[in-house]
Amino acid sequence: MSNRTLKVLKILSHLACAAPLVWLLWLAIENHLGPDPTHTVTFFTGKGTLRLLVLSLAVTPVRRLSPRLSWLIRFRRMLGLWAFAYGCLHLLTYIALYAGFSVDAMLDDLSRRRFIFAGMASWALMVPLALTSTAWSIRKLGGKAWNRLHRLAYLSAIAGVVHYWWGVKQGVHSPFAITLTLAVLLIVRPLWGFFHAMGKAQSPSDAMKRTL
């Protein structure tokens, strides 16, 4: 993949991530957010966060499918940061439209409502990742430590999915699709490691070919 194509793809991806927010803003200005605008904005930003987070987690496993997909890694940070942006908007929706900027109300919610706690945890886990998303941070921390730190993305996604399940009423299965996707991504990683190790032990030449 040429640098030029990558650049174009990156711009398109940024646009794809920003477009829903522009759409949401337009709906808000035009008063087209439906009968329950608070609810609309809450689910729009919340689902957006989870989808982007899971998408960013899918980059590594998908990339491993073929060496020709290695360029995908150049999109991971972007997806992660967009997930964080959606997460911040989701949190802001809660702070402004549910808690009414009252710290007491938020502390009360945090101590009493587990789904709020899980949501806050999911957001908080993204903060160190967003802060260390620069090339400078990777150099400063060293690749290994940085990688380890950024595994928090998995925890954040798990907390996010738990937040979703705890937030909806019993009997509602809308979080199922995203949960399944995340579960596959979580299973694929150790599975790949396992088969990779097996392959290496059995026939080093095959494993070589695969990595090449």
Residues contributing to the site for other proteins (CB under 8 A):
28, 31, 33-39, 41, 97, 100, 105, 108-109, 112-113, 115, 167, 169-174
SS3 171: coil
d(CA 120, CA 87): 10
Residues 149, 7, 45, 103: what is their CA dihedral angle, to the nearest 10 degrees?
50
Residues 41, 174, 13, 122: what is their CA dihedral angle, to the nearest 10 degrees?
70
Among 21, 61, 57, smallest CA distance to 41 is for: 21
d(CA 46, CA 48): 5
In the bound state with other proteins, the residue whose beta carbon lies nearer, of 80 and 119, is 119
Query: Cβ 173 to other proteins, closest distance in Å?
Result: 7
In the bound state with other proteins, the residue whose beta carbon lies nearer, of 38 and 203, is 38
In the bound state with other proteins, the residue whose beta carbon lies nearer, of 88 and 149, is 88
Query: Cβ 31 to other proteins, closest distance in Å?
Result: 6
Length of the chain, in residues? 212
Cβ–Cβ under 8 Å, residues 154 and 186: yes
In the bound state with other proteins, the residue whose beta carbon lies nearer, of 39 and 140, is 39
Query: Cβ 164 to other proteins, closest distance in Å?
Result: 13
Sign of the alpha-carbon dihedral angle for 174, 178, 184, 187: negative
Query: Cβ 103 to other proteins, closest distance in Å?
Result: 15
Written as six digits, the tokens of 34 are: 């439906």
Query: Cβ 177 to other proteins, closest distance in Å?
Result: 14
In the bound state with other proteins, the residue whose beta carbon lies nearer, of 39 and 210, is 39
